[in-house]
Amino acid sequence: MPQGIVKPVSQIVASGKPLVVEMEVGANATEVKMLPGRLVIFDNVDLSVIEAGAKADNVVGFLDVGPDKKKTDNFARGEQVMVVMTDCVALLTLLASENVARGDALVSASDGKVAKQAVGAMGGQGSVVGWALESSNATVDAEVLVHFHKTAESAAAS
């Protein structure tokens, strides 16, 4: 039996019992970017979501696999989705060419992906959404195990 957490083949949540809330893909979502394992933020209507952008401070959670979907299937506007909102270990999409090591803090990147938190001024890095549980330096988008646990970004000094 292997030690640690095994990457799931057909699921996003690898370990834990997170809070999952049914929401709707918003009218402003880019459908091809609405994939399981991608971070989402609220759209203009209550309980509707769109893909998160880079360095977002308002990440709601990430999309889980639908009961009639595969991990590679995207969701359409108006479709019901399951959004994982709380602490768990999940298989999230790491932005291509991100060099992350175990324990690195991760923030949202373009298209709902995750990236290593950059060094910079407080208030301009995005909220930490989790920590890498494995290292990666792939030149293409990669699925990595992440301890998903949203935190608030520190405010910039005034």
Distance CA 72, CA 116 (A): 23
pLDDT at 3: 75
Phi/psi of residue 114, each to 5°? -115, 155
pLDDT confidence of residue 108: 96
Q: Are residues 26 and 77 in the same domain?
A: yes
- Specify if 136 maps to a domain: yes
- Chosen domain end from 62, 85, 108: 85
Predicted confidence at residue 79, as pLDDT, reads 97
Q: Are residues 101 and 81 in the same domain?
A: no
For residues 103 and 41, state if they share a domain: no
| Domain end position, chosen among 85, 117, 139 | 85
What's the CA gap between 111 and 33, in Å, rounded?
6
**Cα separation, 54 vs 106, whole angstroms:** 11
Domain count along the chain: 2
Determine the pLDDT at residue 2: 62
Distance CA 34, CA 73 (A): 9
Q: Is residue 8 part of a domain?
A: no
- 85, 101, 130: which is the final residue of a domain? 85
pLDDT of res. 119 = 75
Rounded Cα–Cα distance for residues 82 and 21 (Å): 6
Q: Are 85 and 42 spatial neighbours (Cβ–Cβ below 8 Å)?
A: no
The amino acid that residue 142 corresponds to is A
Query: What domain range is 46 assigned to?
Result: 13-85
Is position 7 within any domain? no
Which residues have a Cβ under 8 Å from the Cβ of 68 and sit 6 or more positions away? none
Please check whether residues 138 and 125 belong to one and the same domain: yes
d(CA 131, CA 116): 9
So what's the pLDDT on residue 149?
95
Q: How is residue 23 written in tokens? A: 């929401």
pLDDT recorded at residue 101: 96
Is the residue at 3 inside a domain?
no
pTM of the predicted model as reported, rounded to 2 decimal places: 0.92
pLDDT of residue 1: 53
Q: Which two tokens stand for residue 158?
A: 């005034």
Per-residue pLDDT of the chain (158 residues; tens, 9 = 90+): 567 888 999 999 999 999 999 999 999 999 999 999 999 999 999 999 999 999 999 999 999 998 899 999 999 999 999 999 999 999 999 999 999 999 999 999 999 999 999 876 666 788 999 999 999 999 999 999 999 998 876 655 55
